[in-house]
Structure 1
Amino acid sequence: MLSYTPAEAQQLPLYRVPGLFTSIDGLIAAESTRHGGVSPAPFAALNLGINTADDPANVDENRLRFFSAIGTTEFGFASAHQVHGTAVLHVTEAGRYEGYDALMTNVSDLLIGVTVADCVPILIYDSGQRAVAAVHAGWRGTVGRIVQETITQMQQQFGTQPADCHIYIGTCIDQHAFDIGPEVATQFDASLLGTNPQTGRTCADLKRANMNLCLAMGVPASQIEVSPFSTVANNDDYFSYRAEQGQTGRMLAVIGLKNT
């Protein structure tokens, strides 16, 4: 249950900007919170997900508020109907594409983004070739190495070098809340597994798993930022599909290049 009143929630930040990206000219990157929107419970308040039972008019207003807050109302926006796979799409224009969990572009004034409510959002900026990517990595995408596939696709399409990549691994379910069964646990390296102290069940660290994949590709550790927040432990600020038993909203993690 949220500890904020609706009036107080309007004063809280609609989004956070990864510190890794704050000093990069011409780059816009943001991760929304659940604050500052118009949706009622259980989607309170800044629900940005169109595949929910929320009133579409609420989601439209919430998206307008979010895009206005980050200064991208004049940008095109590209997203996808995510399927928990590993397919990566090179996008050059706005639209909603079917069946992809990662988008990449080098087109200016085009924002790309992924929706999340426990899965890992990953934002990538290639400083060498001036290209960006947005990745949705649930446990299937993580064990399928979607972040590595995205960097590989950026190499082939743009000439991206891992050493030039700056990567934000965003807010998601934390290790101690991500209980998994044995059939899933066997797909993770043992070093990524732990035990939920409350349930005694095996759990996995999705943030560290994706960080390790980036490091293995040759991305410098100094160019990787991992969100300190958790959708479950910080459920007052972020939507969590698990913590709210599927009745909740969605956040957006977005990235784009300004036309300079």
Structure 2
Amino acid sequence: MINQPTTTETPLYRKPALFARFDALVSAESTRHGGVSPAPFASLNLGINTDDLPAHVEENRRRFFQHIGATDLGFASAHQIHGTDVLYATEPGRYTGYDALITNVPGLLVGVTVADCVPILLYDPRHRAVAAVHAGWRGTVGRIVVKTLAAMTDQFGTDPADCYGYIGTCIDACSFEVGPEVADQFAADFVQVQPETQRPAVDLKAANRQQLIEAGLPADQIELSPFSTVTHRADYFSYRAEKGQTGRMLAVIGSVS
């Protein structure tokens, strides 16, 4: 399931269409619009580990959570390390060393920050359990999304066939050129040679989608963002395109009851 890019003014956040049917679910992916940060973080920088002023990030986060209707909800996130460890979050806070968070606690959002890597949001409506996953190329090779589903199965009894998954805005296949040492770690289906440079480029969205399907999610219960952090960098932050001097987006999910 793929949303079509909007031609209207870009909002402060976008909500995955796949989750719209679930009234008790809060889910959102921020854009770079609607904040107070100056360049190069303009304007809705939600990343704590940037050179932006902490007061700017705090105000931006306040605006984001207000706009998505989550002012009264808790929030759990982590300092991400491009690993594959999964945290079962039971209370708000900022943790260290995890690239995926799961929870079934009502009123608690989990989220990940990104600026080219893939944010993945998962929902198990049977058990009201959710997950937020940060999958860069290392996490994708390490099959972090599969490990997250396994953690949900162990913790909540989740059946992947019941789950819905959103693969969010990230660097697109045409822009993610890599060296052969990275390309060789992906199946050939997810690597294409760029005609202009003759360098391999990796499709992280497709690779993670295939992992979700292999783990048991039905294909029609997976949505891919149609946007790219590089191609649409007027609306999203791209670490690669902006040479590291940029902000971060947030992708969050949680059940309110």
Q: Give the TM-score range, shorter chain.
A: over 0.9
Counterpart amino acid of residue 150 in structure 2: T
Partner residue in 1 for 2:188: 190
Counterpart pick for 1:152 among 116, 130, 150? 150
> AA paired with 2:54?
P
The residue that corresponds to 1:18 in the other structure is 16
Tell me the equivalent position of 2:248: 250
How far did 1:23 drift?
A: 1.3
* Matching of residue 101 in structure 1 with residue 102 in structure 2: no
Shift of 1:65: 0.3
Report if the CA contact (8 A) 1:176-1:197 is conserved: no
- Give the letter for the 2:156 counterpart: F
Q: 2:6 — aligned with what?
A: none
Superposed displacement of residue 147, structure 1:
0.1
Contact 1:12 1:36 in 2 (8 A): no
Q: Does the 8 Å CA contact 1:118/1:242 hold for their aligned counterparts?
A: yes
| Separation (CA, whole Å) in 1 of partners of 2:76 and 2:197 | 39
Q: How many angstroms apart in 2 are the aligned matches of 1:195 and 1:33?
A: 30
Supply the distance in 1 between the matched residues of 2:252 and 2:175 (Cα, whole angstroms).
Answer: 25
Q: Which residue of 2 aligns with 1:87?
A: 85
> How many angstroms does 1:12 deviate by?
3.6
**Structure 1 residue matching 2:131: 3-state secondary structure:** strand
Find the counterpart in structure 2 of residue 171 from structure 1.
Answer: 169
Equivalence for 2:134: 136
Aligned length: 249
Deviating 4+ runs (over 6 angstroms): none
Amino acid at match of 1:207: K
Which residue of structure 2 aligns with residue 118 of structure 1?
116
Secondary structure of 2:244's aligned partner: coil
- The whole-number CA distance in structure 2 between the counterparts of 1:117 and 1:33 is 10
TM-score of the superposed pair, with normalisation by structure 2: 0.96
Tell me the amino acid that sits aligned with residue 222 of structure 2. Answer: I
1:71 corresponds, among 66, 69, 72, to 69
Q: Is the CA contact (8 Å cut-off) linking 1:176 and 1:195 kept in structure 2?
A: no
Aligned residue for 1:39, secondary structure, equals coil
Q: Tell me how large the CA RMSD over aligned residues is.
A: 0.8
Which segment is superposed worse, 184-193 or 198-207?
A: 198-207
Secondary structure of the 1:175 match is coil
Structure 2 regions of 5+ residues with no counterpart? Answer: 1-8
The answer for unaligned runs of 5 or more in structure 1 is 1-10
Structure 2 Cα separation of the partners of residues 60 and 199 of structure 1: 41
